[in-house]
Structure 1
Amino acid sequence: MSLKKGLQMYKFQSLKDHVYDYIAEQISQGNLLPDEKINENKICQELNISRTPVREALIQLSSENVLENVPRKGFVVKDLNPKEAAEIYEVVGVLDGYAATLACGRLTAKTLKDMEFYINSMDLAIDSGNYEMYYKQQEIFHQLYLVECGNDTLVDSLLKLKKKFVAKKYDLNCMEDVKAILFETNNEHKEMLKLFKTNKTDELEHYIRQVHWDPSKSATEVTTP
């Protein structure tokens, strides 16, 4: 289940929203790569829907700069240059940090326990090399506090920015480096949980903004939202 789906599970989704989520998920999972043309017919066939909601979703993703409408080619996945990636990291850090401070104090004991469960699950996924599972688990980890922040506009803006990141393909010769990066990121999740539990909102906001979303990390080969 995608993050947006989890946040909107209580809302009715139009066909356009369904297609939007599907394309965004394909990009985040690395099934659609930068400069790759979106095959509209294939999406219509896979989702068994007409072309109209597909076009509507593509236009929306293009307006959010996730896709680019290239003349005589069609919609393609837009890649980020280093400057754009660093700028987005910086903005996401501010928004994510603020969302966390709003959620801090609202999280129940069960939610905090669930966050701990997903942190432990991420460690297992990294250790076993199951990176697809890692990304699903970390998405749910962040979802658990985002749904409690109480500001839908903030969350929507945050999700749109995160969709701009395209999943990286791993170099099989550098898998130990990949593991090290992901373990380091999950250690950051552990520190975030500790700050959530102690309601240290100022430290939590600063940690998420300055450490978890440190703009210098945007150059790392592994994208870890």
Structure 2
Amino acid sequence: MLTIKIKKLNIKPSVIAQQVSQVLLDAILVNDLKGGEQLLEAPLQKQFEISRSPLREAFRDLEKKGVVEIIPRKGAFVKRVTRRDIEENYSVRTLLEGLAAKEAYHKMTGKDHEALQKTISKMKKAVINNNIMAYWKHHSVFHDIFITASGNRVLIKILGTLRIHSVQHRFSFPNYDEKLQNSLDYHKKILDLFISQNTDDIELENLVKEHIEIALKTFITNVREP
């Protein structure tokens, strides 16, 4: 069971629920809370120093995000990740992130380009240090930058949920092995296309799609469901 604790906060229960939801979400995404594990109310109430009401609100929020299942008369459980989950997630992300990149290219500012460059530098440092957790953290930031820059609210909302799931997928399978250097090389190429004033936006869209398709193939090749 999770051992993270937060101090008792003298604020509205709805805000406490959001904070608890985020702490639990972070633990789920990096597989500290594993698929199928029950979120026991009594221990969590004690650890977070909260009542049942905000805890259950946090569970409902996690259920909406698709990472927790609430089973009547049994409780809340971390959702198990299946091969089908991965295939469906990546197939949709391939199309939508490619579109987001295409739309973002025409709307990006110098600050966006600078943010991408700084993120690439952090990704490179993580590869050099073989810091897997840091790499995927900065990898997510890179994608978030151009998805947000697209300005497409529907894409931003849908991809926000899909990308939460993809992080959980990655850490749910210890034998998943996407080569960090290969991933970094793709992102350098994507960055170059974003910065260039002569980029064919279709070429950029296809490169982003290709990057995600390769990640899916890596999953399919290496991941075996328990």
Please tell me the TM-score bracket, short chain as reference.
0.7 to 0.9
Equivalent in 172, 186, 189 of residue 188 of structure 1: 186
Identity of counterpart residues, as a percentage? 27
**Counterpart of 1:163 in 2: which secondary structure?**
helix
**Closer, same or farther in 2 for the Cα pair 1:123/1:63, shift >3 Å?**
same
What is the Cα deviation at residue 151 of structure 1? 2.1
What is the TM-score normalised by the length of structure 2?
A: 0.76
Match of 1:201 in 2: 201
What is the Cα deviation at residue 41 of structure 1? 4.2
**Counterpart of 1:161 in 2: which secondary structure?**
helix
The amino acid that maps onto 1:183 is Q
Match of 1:77 in 2: 78
CA distance in 2, matches of 1:151, 1:22: 28
**Closer, same or farther in 2 for the Cα pair 1:57/1:95, shift >3 Å?**
farther
The amino acid that maps onto 1:210 is E
Q: Is the CA contact 1:86–1:216 (under 8 Å) kept in the aligned structure 2?
A: no
Q: Deviations over 1:41-99 (max 9, x none)?
A: 45445554433233123123324432122455421111222122111101011121122
Match of 1:93 in 2: 94
Q: Deviations over 1:185-214 (max 9, x none)?
A: 121111211221234321121222233244
Match of 1:7 in 2: none
The amino acid that maps onto 1:94 is L
Match of 1:10 in 2: none
Match of 2:110 in 1: 109
- The Cα RMSD (Å) is 2.7
Match of 1:137 in 2: 138
CA distance in 1, matches of 2:222, 2:34: 14
**Counterpart of 1:33 in 2: which secondary structure?**
coil
Q: Which has the higher contact order (CA 8 A, sep 6+)?
A: 1
**Closer, same or farther in 2 for the Cα pair 1:20/1:81, shift >3 Å?**
same
CA distance in 1, matches of 2:180, 2:211: 14
Match of 2:159 in 1: 158
CA distance in 2, matches of 1:151, 1:15: 30
The amino acid that maps onto 1:102 is E
Based on CA coordinates, which of the two structures has the bigger radius of gyration?
Answer: 2
Aligned length: 204
Answer with 143-152 or 86-95: which moved more: 143-152
CA distance in 1, matches of 2:106, 2:26: 31
What is the Cα deviation at residue 35 of structure 1? 0.9
**Structure 1 unaligned regions, length at least 5:** 1-12, 172-176
Q: Is the CA contact 1:37–1:73 (under 8 Å) kept in the aligned structure 2?
A: no
CA distance in 1, matches of 2:155, 2:46: 34
**Structure 2 unaligned regions, length at least 5:** 1-13
What is the TM-score normalised by the length of structure 1?
A: 0.77
